[in-house]
Chain A
């Protein structure tokens, strides 16, 4: 037995080290892992802190029916009562108008970039302009509309002017995200549709856009989230009204951000402070509800049966 064993060809005697990486590499790997997890923890702290603050200070006003159905008409900073109906409606109306204007332009613009203009000089110019628009600060968008709407045309400060400036902010967000989503639609699907003799526009409308639909909706919601919380255009383009005004073309209009702004200097007074945090929580909830809805829409539209 031993003799046979000795006759076997000898191994080279060097066992492979299969236990792991060299020390420095393993260390770097561990360090990177620790830092990455740490980054996550750091990012979560402000989120939880802010949410905790806003919820704990704002929730009790939201529990009353008045909050959702009354305005602040005739209510001073020292008095309790009233609601945020005027501000909620103002925010919703202005955002809705913004979306109605911005989304079609954005989606069609993205379709142009991905399906029609690809690789052309014109598309590069458009794309560059979108990059510029992406960087336009809300205050500049507001100033621009101020210059056109008020200084040049001599119109009044109204909700619609706010919507116009918000379009400038929402357009690039939705356009870019739509563009990205359209790009992700594999060319194979377009080809499959073309190969069935389907014209290009129907291919885009019935195959490309539906495939990217979830992503497009998410982009729209991100855009809405951005514009709903914008305060600067409200400060410049429409006055804050404590009364209910549902007409975006006439008169001042309440909005949640300006409602917060209205009372933020009076935080020492409990009724004002309560309203500030309650309005803040309402604003967050509003955006959140839209987000959740968007995700549901995206989920159910991704797989269509029938």
Chain B
């Protein structure tokens, strides 16, 4: 070893090739190591070191035979350590490390701050409006903010939002799992990539286009489905069709929402399915499993937590989707009685807020809408918390298979 101060060793007994070309790589390596300590500075410290060391060698590594071993000596490698050749082991330019880690930590903290601020600001503006509310905010279906006697409640919006999103999830998740499996394990190799890309493309279509297409082209062909379902299940209020052939209904919105969240759920499921360790898959196949059994035994359990979080992501988007719903859903006439059927119109939180953006003229009115937005925020928060808990419990990558949930997903895929 050449010392950093360039006192190259002429005292190397077996002058090896490395010894000759000794081109001070270390010097280059250490160029950002700050000022190089000179040999003189180190000498004193070094002497102490040496004394300390020899004492230790005597007492602690005494019984080790290696040092005095003749075989090693015979190879000519037992070179006496050159005194004074001190390596540079001090701190190495860690300013970069400190800065970088500070930035990284700062970004993490910023995310926490942002979420906290979203909650705090929305609350701060919603509370005064809520205090003035003359009806039950949570249970009233009336929405008449502003004026002397503001009366507004979210019951109707809440119902429409949740029902439309859940139906969308129920439709989208099984299809998404199917598509993801198709891409990862069924499609011919040459087809898999284009198909994956095509599904991604579905995510690239802006929601306003879904809305337009949904109400103009897709809704008309849903009418027979709506009629069929209401004929068969009309005795349940949920499926009772009001008179007229309105297609701008919750059910239509749900189906379009399902299409919209499909690529999101598919993309994540696909990623996670593809990551199933080959050992898991071959393990299943080696037991004589069919392809489907292999998927049920290894791929689905492995990907379960990923699929759950993907579904939750999809649900979150469905809950908050604004413009597509805004375009599709027909707003019920104020005089009509409220209708719980999925074959009736309605308004979700998001569509209500967007529909009335022009009404944000007084703080009271704005506060009412912000309060509604806050509820939407809380709902998505709860959905995400639930997803988080499920993901955490099943462990990273869902490696700990959980019989029941795995079966649930499996059924989902085949239904």
Contact = CB atoms under 8 A, between A and B. Distances in A.
A133 B114 contact: yes
A133 B119 CA distance: 11
Nearest to A117: B108
A97 to B, nearest CB: 17
B327 A264 contact: yes
B377 A47 contact: no
Interface in B168-227: 174-179, 181-183, 186-187, 195, 198-210, 212-213, 216-218
A38 interface: yes
A137 B204 contact: no
Interface in A184-232: 197, 199-202, 204-205, 222, 225-226, 228-232
B186 A205 contact: no
B233 interface: no
Interface string B380-399: 11011101100000000000
Q: Which of B111, B176, B357, B413 has the most C-beta atoms of chain A within 10 angstroms of its own C-beta?
A: B111
A260 B208 contact: yes
A135 B174 CA distance: 21
B206 A280 contact: yes
Interface in B13-56: 29
A46 B369 CA distance: 33
Interface stretch (A59-67, A75-83, A107-115, A296-304): A107-115
Given A25-B293, A204-B100, A50 B213 contact: yes
A112 B100 contact: no
A276 B215 CA distance: 14
A247 B125 CA distance: 29
A38 B107 CA distance: 44
Interface residues of A, number: 94
B137 interface: no
Interface stretch (B60-68, B91-99, B146-154, B401-409): B91-99
Given A37-B182, A136-B380, A171-B111, A143 B105 contact: no
B320 A33 contact: no
B370 interface: yes
A121 interface: no
Contact of A135 (B29, B110, B288, B313): B313
Contacts of B293: 25, 28-29
B366 interface: yes
B195 A236 contact: no
Nearest to B372: A143
B196 to A, nearest CB: 11
A29 B288 CA distance: 13
Given A144-B118, A284-B204, A39 B100 contact: no
B326 to A, nearest CB: 8
Interface in A27-79: 28-29, 31-33, 35-40, 42-44, 46-47, 49-51, 53-54
Contact of A139 (B100, B174, B295, B350): B350
Contact of B97 (A199, A256, A257, A261): A199
Contacts of A128: 385, 388
A139 B354 contact: yes
Contacts of B363: 151
Contacts of B143: none
Q: Which of B174, B203, B292 has the most CB of A within 10 A?
A: B292
B332 interface: no
Contacts of A138: 320, 322, 350
Given A28-B290, A126-B112, A144-B118, A46 B259 contact: yes
A21 interface: yes
A293 interface: no
A280 B295 CA distance: 39
B265 to A, nearest CB: 11
Given A39-B174, A108-B104, A139 B353 contact: yes
A139 B376 contact: yes
Interface string B115-126: 101100110110
B208 A231 contact: yes
Contacts of A144: 117-118, 121-122, 373
Given A37-B186, A115-B104, A284-B204, A32 B292 contact: yes
Given A108-B104, A288-B204, A152 B115 contact: no
Nearest to A21: B290
B108 to A, nearest CB: 4
Contact of B209 (A31, A50, A232): A50
A143 B372 CA distance: 10
Contacts of A243: none
A36 B181 contact: yes
A38 B218 CA distance: 19
Contacts of A106: 107
Contact of A231 (B295, B323, B366, B414): B323
A136 B105 contact: no
B93 A197 contact: no
B250 interface: no
B266 interface: yes
A36 B205 CA distance: 24
A235 interface: yes
Given A53-B213, A232-B354, A280-B209, A26 B290 contact: yes
Interface in A107-160: 108-109, 111-113, 115-117, 122-123, 125-126, 128-141, 143-144, 146-148, 151-152
Chain B CB count within 10 A is highest, among A25, A146, A284, for: A146
A132 to B, nearest CB: 5
Given A35-B178, A40-B179, A109-B111, A199 B205 contact: no
Contacts of B216: 267
Interface of A: 21, 25-26, 28-29, 31-33, 35-40, 42-44, 46-47, 49-51, 53-54, 104-106, 108-109, 111-113, 115-117, 122-123, 125-126, 128-141, 143-144, 146-148, 151-152, 168, 171, 175, 180, 197, 199-202, 204-205, 222, 225-226, 228-232, 235-236, 256-257, 260-261, 264, 267, 276, 280, 283-284, 287-288, 291
17 contacts: A28-B290, A35-B178, A36-B179, A36-B181, A39-B175, A54-B209, A106-B107, A109-B104, A113-B108, A122-B108, A126-B112, A129-B111, A133-B111, A135-B381, A136-B377, A136-B380, A284-B205
Given A51-B205, A129-B115, 11 more contacts: A29-B292, A111-B107, A137-B321, A137-B376, A180-B271, A225-B204, A229-B206, A232-B323, A261-B208, A284-B209, A291-B201
